Chains A and B, each alone.
Chain A
Amino acid sequence: MSTVEVVREAARISLADTTSRARRGRDAVFLGALWLSLLVAIVTLATLVTSTLVTGIGSLDLRLVSSFPSPFAADAGLQSALFGSLWVTITSGVVSLVVALGTAIYLEEFADPRSRIQRLVTVNIQTLAGVPSIVYGILGLAFFVRKPFDWGFTVGAAAATLTMMVLPLMIVASREALKAVPPSLREGAYALGATRWQTVRKQVLPAAVPGIATGSILGVSRALGESAPLILLGALAYVSYNPTSFASDFTVLPLLIFKWSTEVQVEFRALAAAAIIVLLAMLLALNLVAIVIRDRSRISW
Chain B
Amino acid sequence: MVTLGTETGRAPILRPMQSTVATAEPSGVEPTSQVVLEARDLNVYYGDFRAVQDVNLDCHKGQITALIGPSGCGKTTVLRCFNRMNDLIASARIEGSVTYHGIDLYGPQADAGEVRRRIGMVFQKPNPFPKSVYDNVAFGPRVNGERDKKRLDEIVERSLRGAALWDEVKDRLDASGLGLSGGQQQRLCIARTIAVDPEVVLMDEPCSALDPIATARIEDLMQEIKQQYTIVIVTHNMQQAARVSDRTAFFTTEVNPESDRRTGRLVEIDDTRKIFSNPSDSRTEAYVSGKFG
Pair B116/A193 contact, Cβ less than 8 Å: yes
- Cα of A198 to Cα of B114 in the assembled complex, Å: 14
B140 touches A (CB below 8 Å): yes
Pair B125/A192 contact, Cβ less than 8 Å: no
A190/B116 contact (C-beta < 8 A), A113-B90, A114-B91 known? yes
B129 touches A (CB below 8 Å): yes
The digit string for A126-140, where 1 denotes a CB below 8 A from any CB of B, is: 000000000000000
Pair B193/A192 contact, Cβ less than 8 Å: yes
A189 in complex: contacting residue of B120, B125, B139, B178, CB < 8 Å: B139
The digit string for B189-233, where 1 denotes a CB below 8 A from any CB of A, is: 100110110000000000000000000000000000000000000
Pair A187/B140 contact, Cβ less than 8 Å: no
- Cα of A249 to Cα of B192 in the assembled complex, Å: 57
The digit string for B59-101, where 1 denotes a CB below 8 A from any CB of A, is: 0000000000000000000000001010010110000000000
CB distance from A211 to the nearest CB of B (A): 14
List of A residues within 8 angstroms of B107 by Cβ: none
B123 touches A (CB below 8 Å): yes
- Cα of A82 to Cα of B198 in the assembled complex, Å: 59
Pair A194/B113 contact, Cβ less than 8 Å: yes
- Cα of A193 to Cα of B114 in the assembled complex, Å: 6
B144 touches A (CB below 8 Å): yes
- Cα of A203 to Cα of B129 in the assembled complex, Å: 7
Shortest Cβ-Cβ A-B pairs, 8 listed: A193-B117, A192-B140, A184-B127, A191-B121, A299-B130, A194-B143, A193-B113, A188-B127
CB distance from A12 to the nearest CB of B (A): 39
A100 touches B (CB below 8 Å): no
A198/B143 contact (C-beta < 8 A), A187-B85, A191-B85 known? yes
List of A residues within 8 angstroms of B128 by Cβ: 188
Pair A191/B116 contact, Cβ less than 8 Å: yes
11 other contacts beyond A182-B127, A193-B114, A207-B130, with CB at 8 A cut-off? A187-B88, A187-B127, A188-B127, A188-B129, A191-B85, A192-B117, A193-B144, A194-B113, A202-B143, A299-B178, A301-B178
- Cα of A300 to Cα of B130 in the assembled complex, Å: 8
B139 in complex: contacting residue of A113, A202, A301, CB < 8 Å: A202
A binding-site residues for B, Cβ under 8 Å: 112-114, 182, 184-195, 198, 202-203, 206-207, 299-301
Give 6 CB contacts A-B under 8 Å: A185-B130, A188-B192, A191-B116, A193-B143, A202-B143, A299-B130
List of A residues within 8 angstroms of B193 by Cβ: 191-192
List of B residues within 8 angstroms of A194 by Cβ: 113, 139-140, 143
B189 in complex: contacting residue of A188, A193, A198, A206, CB < 8 Å: A188
List of A residues within 8 angstroms of B121 by Cβ: 187, 191
List of A residues within 8 angstroms of B130 by Cβ: 185, 206-207, 299, 301
List of A residues within 8 angstroms of B195 by Cβ: 192
CB distance from A221 to the nearest CB of B (A): 28
- Cα of A112 to Cα of B87 in the assembled complex, Å: 12
Tell me how many residues of B have a C-beta within 8 Å of chain A: 27
- Cα of A189 to Cα of B112 in the assembled complex, Å: 13
List of A residues within 8 angstroms of B144 by Cβ: 192-193
A192 in complex: contacting residue of B90, B91, B139, B178, CB < 8 Å: B139
List of A residues within 8 angstroms of B85 by Cβ: 187, 190-191
A192/B127 contact (C-beta < 8 A), A114-B91, A299-B178, A300-B178 known? no
A188/B116 contact (C-beta < 8 A), A202-B143, A203-B129 known? no
CB distance from B194 to the nearest CB of A (A): 11
List of A residues within 8 angstroms of B196 by Cβ: 192-193
Pair B117/A188 contact, Cβ less than 8 Å: no
CB distance from B119 to the nearest CB of A (A): 9
Pair A192/B143 contact, Cβ less than 8 Å: yes
The digit string for B170-196, where 1 denotes a CB below 8 A from any CB of A, is: 000000001000000000010011011
Nearest B residue (CB) for A203: B129
Pair A188/B123 contact, Cβ less than 8 Å: yes
A195 in complex: contacting residue of B91, B129, B143, B189, CB < 8 Å: B143
- Cα of A188 to Cα of B196 in the assembled complex, Å: 13
Chain B 138-157 residues near chain A, CB threshold 8 A: 139-140, 143-144
CB distance from A42 to the nearest CB of B (A): 36
- Cα of A19 to Cα of B85 in the assembled complex, Å: 53
- Cα of A194 to Cα of B196 in the assembled complex, Å: 11
CB distance from B46 to the nearest CB of A (A): 13
- Cα of A285 to Cα of B94 in the assembled complex, Å: 54
Nearest A residue (CB) for B122: A191
List of B residues within 8 angstroms of A300 by Cβ: 178
- Cα of A194 to Cα of B117 in the assembled complex, Å: 8
Pair B123/A192 contact, Cβ less than 8 Å: no
Pair A114/B90 contact, Cβ less than 8 Å: yes
- Cα of A137 to Cα of B129 in the assembled complex, Å: 45
CB distance from B174 to the nearest CB of A (A): 16
Pair A185/B129 contact, Cβ less than 8 Å: yes
List of A residues within 8 angstroms of B90 by Cβ: 112-114
- Cα of A190 to Cα of B129 in the assembled complex, Å: 12
CB distance from B180 to the nearest CB of A (A): 13
- Cα of A299 to Cα of B195 in the assembled complex, Å: 24
List of A residues within 8 angstroms of B192 by Cβ: 188, 192
Pair A192/B116 contact, Cβ less than 8 Å: yes
List of B residues within 8 angstroms of A301 by Cβ: 130, 178
- Cα of A184 to Cα of B192 in the assembled complex, Å: 14
- Cα of A42 to Cα of B141 in the assembled complex, Å: 54
